[in-house]
Amino acid sequence: MAFRTTSPEALQRRVAVIEKMGLGKGWSDGDLGHGRAYQFYSPDGHNMELYWETKWYDAPEHLKPSWRNQPQRYTGRGACVKRLDHVNVLAADVRASREFVQELLGYRLYERIELDDGTETGAWMSLTIAAHELIYVADAYSARGRLHHLAFWVDTREECLRAADLFVDADVPIEAAPSKHGVAQGFFLYGIEPGGNRVEVTTGGYFVYDPDREPVTWSAAERARGQFWGVKTVDSFHTYGTPDVANEKEAMTT
């Protein structure tokens, strides 16, 4: 994951902190869309990097938008997602991972799951008013550095339903049909892209305008209720991640 800092100075300050922590890997020359970046490991072993220099998208002539406050002409092709919305990563130790990004990157914690024995198994965090931008969920295999899913934003629930129709006819395996989450209340559709990663098409949720909002903590008993409208979460959702350490992919996509 690559994060853009709020300024060049903020980048230097973060790099100094990471180096003191001993988690730094060093500078890269940059990548598609951004300039040099400082790379490091999270405590769980996820690859992360910070950068300031960015390259703005300049639409080619045939994709120039009609209104200048849009980045690109509206094409309406396929699922037609608008932007990356959030990333959900698995972690062997959710609490440690969550505290790391709170302290290092300034994430705020909006919702979390805590088992009766005090183990933290989920954390929904954000740098903005959006209900979640980064999520940590416990890895069922205690593996390190795995991905749960990438979520792409659409503006309406109708577009999630439309994406589901497209998935069905395009042979994209649907892991979880469109419905509404209880935690964070986002509307979702989960599928498995050809490379094996879980992807979400999402919209909705809520905004947090309060500077001092207390996180909502859910118990295991409450989680047993299922999703917002009572849909039971499929088992694979609690275990599958990429890389696929338990050879679950075949069962999911065939």
**Least CB distance to a copy of itself at residue 43 (A):** 26
Strands across the sheet containing 24-28:
2-4, 47-51, 37-41, 24-28
What track of x and - describes contact with a copy of itself for positions 41 through 60 (by CB under 8 A)? -------------x------
Q: How many CA atoms are closer than 13 Å to the CA of 58, on its beta-carbon side? A: 2
Site for a copy of itself, residues 3 to 22, rule: CB under 8 A = 4-7
C-beta closer to a copy of itself: residue 45 or 222: 222
* 4/71 Cα distance (integer angstroms): 19
C-beta closer to a copy of itself: residue 64 or 238: 64
The β-bridge relationship of strands 47-51 and 2-4 is parallel
By the rule CB under 8 A, 162 interacts with a copy of itself? yes
By the rule CB under 8 A, 195 interacts with a copy of itself? no
> Is 179 within 8 Å of 130 (Cβ atoms)?
no
Q: CA 108, 233, 206, 49 torsion: positive or negative?
A: positive
**Least CB distance to a copy of itself at residue 73 (A):** 4
- Which whole-number Å values give the CA distances from 80 to 40, 63, 153, 166, in the listed order? 33, 14, 9, 11
The tokens 């439309």 sit on which residue? 162
Stretch that binds a copy of itself, among 22-30, 142-150, 227-235, 236-244 (CB under 8 A): 227-235
* 151/60 Cα distance (integer angstroms): 26
**Least CB distance to a copy of itself at residue 66 (A):** 5
By the rule CB under 8 A, 254 interacts with a copy of itself? no
**Least CB distance to a copy of itself at residue 18 (A):** 20
What track of x and - describes contact with a copy of itself for positions 56 through 95 (by CB under 8 A)? ---------xxxxxx--xxxxxxxx--x------------
The tokens 């092709």 sit on which residue? 77
Residue 107 exposed, middle or buried by CB count within 10 Å (0-12, 13-18, 19+): buried
By the rule CB under 8 A, 169 interacts with a copy of itself? yes
**Least CB distance to a copy of itself at residue 102 (A):** 17
Q: Which tokens in the block code for residue 224?
A: 């047993």
Q: How many CA atoms are closer than 13 Å to the CA of 138, on its beta-carbon side? A: 11
C-beta closer to a copy of itself: residue 12 or 156: 156
Stretch that binds a copy of itself, among 28-36, 88-96, 144-152, 169-177 (CB under 8 A): 169-177
Can you give the binding site for a copy of itself, defined by CB under 8 A?
Answer: 4-7, 54, 65-70, 73-80, 83, 111, 128-130, 155-159, 161-162, 164-169, 171, 174, 177-180, 182-185, 204, 206-207, 209-211, 216, 218, 222, 227-231
